[in-house]
Structure 1
């Protein structure tokens, strides 16, 4: 099982939003996906990097939402799930997002040895670590799984969630995959606390305090 430094994973997740322009990442991109409002990067070291929501279309297609758009109302609901190929019951938006990435990787015959994602990307990270049986880290992870109890390949993903980030507790009756590490930041963020820069900081704080291991798994 491939191990990866958590602090480095956090920096990669932050850089994923500008990966093609980011000085330390762009030269490591073997291939990239931009299809159906899904973005992902397959790096030369075998890491699959999945950014989160970066457009209104992402929220409409994939995320939890409580907005009105024209005559269509998108609302937060626990009744939005469907079975995946594994038989596990998933949030249908998160499953649809993960499937675009899964199909791309399969078409290209790429084999990820590690997966890193943030937000919507963390939801897909949880699904794909189970699908491929590889380790991964999801930052600011929502809950993608409806099924209760343990399932096969449940333990490959580490979900790193701030305790002041409400997205990590949604949808309310769903569940995370793998292990959840809830981080209490030294200082709560005023305003949005979901951004990766806040997760980079809290990982640093947790590791300095000896509350978080250096690598996963």
Structure 2
């Protein structure tokens, strides 16, 4: 009899526990349906893995040297590419040189007679304007002022005198075309000489590539201008 009562009590206790569990589950489901998030469904806090400290970096050597392996924390930003004083001189001189070419090209819009001259002037504006921005940025990145103290930019090869610029501004039609082509050809020849000289003395790779591109493009433009004069 005692064993029977014990089994009955155990069954009743188990039934009560199951009932309570069912009630809790039901209420939790109802809260979820009403938009509430049960406490037991909260997402676990993500853990952040520590940054490994044993990373290595392969640092390439100079031409002919073997690459070296270094710890990551020993490698720093190398900063701007190395340059020398002649790189700086080239940029400081080429900025005002380009500025005069742009001033000449601006005049062609309402003075040139030949459409080819106007098209050439527009090409010069489209290329040399952004190039001036690039050169100014090159100096700024290196903390260098844009001006060269005590230098007369008018003495640079290809630079036109103030009198020549005034004469160009006062000319129109075919006379403007001839004068523009002559002045711009001289101007381009000066820029090509400056760029070619830099390729032998400069050390900055970016400027080396720029000087090569400048010399190539302006040589092509000189050939086009000569074709215009030959007509």
TM-score higher than 0.5: no
Q: TM-score, normalised by structure 1?
A: 0.26
Q: Which has the larger radius of gyration?
A: 2
Q: Greater helix share, 1 or 2?
A: 2
Q: TM-score, normalised by structure 2?
A: 0.24
